[in-house]
């Protein structure tokens, strides 16, 4: 019996403590709310004062002065709770939202928005930065989309004769044909490899990561193995080191070396540039025919233990490194 009494006393004490904690919690919430309202009120007052000054100077008409508007208008204009676009939970730019849905990468998403193919809650939106929340209904070309919660990251060792795209009007084989059993999620490639270029290619439905790796400012490191139709001369080797002037500007490499000291047709090239067909164009500009081009590394990831035409899922550690853009890999 004493034991039951002690346990009951302990239970009552815990209940009292919980009630006290809850009381303190509610007081803090009330204080926070009061502070927010005071800030909003002060902000609205300052805005009204500024508009009154502008009216006095004749820069706006009386009908435009917020002093003639109801208090609710002033509060909303001051950035209060009525501004759904700024305060809604999970709000994010529209193009980012579309990318998170696994439709296309962020840049292509921005183009879809600008082309008028996207609606939010039934209204067409043409501003990629328009803020949307999880509760908004977003449609692309009339079809509702939702953010993809099951993120997938695939490393493919791409072979030749496959198109780096999600579909091809001409019916040619695409990289998605190689990973059709990897996931049921809709993924897309990050960047492109030419049809006749092989090697490391990443595919994902993580729009944010795709945007990060594709953006020039991150200068993602890539290493290529190049096979030429003839020996690379010292003169041309030095030209590449100095930078080759192409039609769209100077093309620079980070490092260049022969992969075999006895074979001057095989070259290793490290580059950060994401310009289209940059490696092939460098050698073609110097009158070399590229017989083979293989990307052996991309953003620190290699095709080690992944046979040509095969794939593997990235590990959690690899994904984490990519997301934080570890400097040793960029």
Structural contact between residues 200 and 157, judged by C-beta atoms closer than 8 angstroms: yes
Using a 10 angstrom Cβ sphere, with 0-12 exposed, 13-18 middle and 19 or more buried, the burial of residue 282 is buried
Active-site pick, 177, 194, 231, 254: 194
262 token code pair? 């006895």
Q: Is 167 a catalytic residue?
A: no
Nearest residue to 257 (alpha-carbon basis) of 218, 287, 296, 201 = 296
Please list the active-site residues: 194
């Amino acid at each position: 019996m004493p034991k039951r009494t002690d346990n009951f006393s302990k239970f009552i004490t815990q209940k009292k403590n919980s009630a006290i904690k809850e009381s303190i919690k509610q007081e803090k919430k009330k204080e926070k709310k009061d502070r927010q309202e005071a800030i909003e009120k002060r902000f609205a007052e300052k805005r009204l004062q500024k508009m009154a000054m502008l009216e006095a100077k004749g820069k706006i008409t009386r009908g435009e002065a917020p002093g003639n508007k109801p208090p609710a208008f002033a509060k909303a204009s001051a950035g209060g709770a009525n501004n759904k676009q700024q305060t809604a939970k999970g709000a994010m730019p529209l193009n980012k939202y579309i990318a998170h849905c696994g439709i296309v990468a962020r840049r292509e998403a921005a183009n879809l928005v600008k082309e008028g193919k996207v609606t939010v809650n039934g209204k067409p939106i043409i501003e990629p930065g328009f803020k949307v929340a999880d509760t908004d209904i977003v449609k692309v070309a009339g079809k509702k989309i939702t953010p993809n919660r099951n993120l997938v990251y695939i490393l493919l060792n791409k072979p030749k004769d496959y198109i780096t795209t999600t579909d091809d009007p001409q019916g040619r084989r695409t990289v998605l044909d190689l990973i059709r059993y990897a996931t049921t999620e809709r993924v897309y490639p990050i960047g492109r490899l030419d049809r006749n270029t092989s090697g490391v290619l990443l595919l994902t439905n993580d729009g944010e990561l795709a945007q990060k790796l594709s953006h020039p400012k991150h200068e993602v490191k890539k290493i290529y193995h190049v096979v030429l139709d003839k020996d690379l001369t010292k003169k041309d080797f030095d030209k590449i080191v100095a930078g080759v002037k192409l039609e769209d500007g100077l093309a620079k490499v980070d490092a260049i070396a022969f992969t075999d000291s006895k074979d001057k047709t095989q070259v290793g090239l490290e580059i950060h540039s994401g310009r289209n067909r940059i490696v092939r164009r460098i050698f073609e500009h110097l009158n070399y025919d590229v017989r083979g081009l293989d990307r052996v590394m991309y953003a620190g990831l290699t095709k080690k233990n992944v046979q040509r035409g095969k794939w593997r899922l990235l590990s959690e550690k690899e994904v984490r490194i990519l997301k934080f853009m570890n400097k040793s890999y960029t």
